[in-house]
């Protein structure tokens, strides 16, 4: 029997403190047209619309224990919230200080095996999102596909993809969580008024792709500069270390000579 929205709300009210943040001005937000603010997502799949919304489960200190991008079926949402509670229990357990991150990754991956067939079936791809991923696959490897002997063999259901991506982000603070990369799947532009027009040739789609490429370029440049800075610091410490050792060696040699002269 499927859970109702009211039953899901009871779970949220009982076990969570619920808040929200307007992400309309964030760089990673996609472009959707043909909808109003009063429209409700009906008949969609788990994980669809990742750029429209993300449900973060945070610790009291703002550490991300789980994140669910897009829309989710009530039954599957409750399953994921229960999973998030277990991850939070791991986070606050002082006995598990060593190896917490490895345990986090194992728990995220093992959760996939516990998902019901219905949940996996509800986590399929929207047609336009799948088409966009197949197009991107032509330009480089994508973690959205199963790989066998270096070749893509079918698309991963979104419940699998999301847990695999979360496994690589163990207990990251919300401020440092790379939301844009985490939700980077499917189509960033959607126009419900587009009819049968191929979205890949539409002006809106091309503009959204250009914006995302520019953001990736900026991110990569920031990463490069940060790596250069860190490498420079390490090199400087190493250099200073050698200089200090040389200075100490000279000091010892001078002291030894002075001691010999006194004798």
Query: Residue 98's pLDDT is what?
Result: 75
Cα angle 86, 54, 47; round to 5: 85
Q: Say yes or no to pLDDT of 189 above 70.
A: no
Q: How many CB atoms lie within 10 A of CB 146?
A: 12
Q: Which of 170, 193, 169, 194 is nearest to 180 (CA)?
A: 169
Question: What CA–CA distance (Å, rounded) separates 58 from 64?
Answer: 5
More confident residue, 129 or 216: 129
More confident residue, 177 or 95: 177
pLDDT band of residue 203 (cuts 50, 70, 90) is low
Domain locations along the chain: 5-198, 202-263
pTM recorded for the entire structure: 0.73
Q: Which of 27, 123, 36 is nearest to 73 (CA)?
A: 123
Query: Residue 198's pLDDT is what?
Result: 46
Q: How many residues does the chain have?
A: 263
């Amino acid at each position: 029997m499927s859970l109702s929205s009211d039953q899901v709300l009871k779970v949220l009210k009982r076990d969570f403190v619920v808040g929200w943040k307007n992400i309309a001005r964030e760089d990673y937000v996609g472009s959707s047209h043909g909808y109003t603010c009063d429209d409700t997502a009906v008949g969609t799949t788990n994980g669809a619309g990742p750029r429209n919304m993300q449900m973060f489960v945070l610790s009291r200190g703002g550490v991300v224990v789980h994140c669910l991008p897009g829309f989710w079926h009530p039954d599957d949402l409750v399953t994921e919230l229960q999973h998030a509670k277990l991850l939070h229990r791991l986070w606050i357990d002082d006995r598990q200080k060593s190896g917490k991150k490895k345990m986090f990754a194992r728990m995220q991956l093992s959760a996939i095996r516990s998902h019901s067939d219905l949940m996996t079936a509800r986590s399929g791809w929207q047609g336009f999102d799948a088409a966009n991923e197949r197009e991107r696959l032509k330009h480089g490897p994508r973690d959205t596909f199963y790989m066998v002997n270096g070749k893509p063999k079918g698309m991963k259901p979104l419940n699998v993809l999301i847990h695999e991506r979360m496994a690589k982000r163990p207990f990251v603070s919300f401020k440092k969580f790379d939301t844009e990369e985490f939700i980077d799947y499917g189509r960033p532009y959607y126009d419900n008024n587009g009819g049968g027009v191929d979205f890949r040739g539409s002006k809106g789609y091309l503009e959204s792709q250009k914006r995302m490429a520019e953001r990736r370029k900026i991110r990569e440049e920031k990463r490069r500069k940060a790596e250069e800075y860190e490498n420079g610091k390490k090199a400087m410490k190493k250099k200073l270390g050698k200089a200090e050792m040389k200075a100490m060696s000279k000091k010892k040699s001078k002291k030894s000579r002075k001691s010999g002269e006194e004798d």
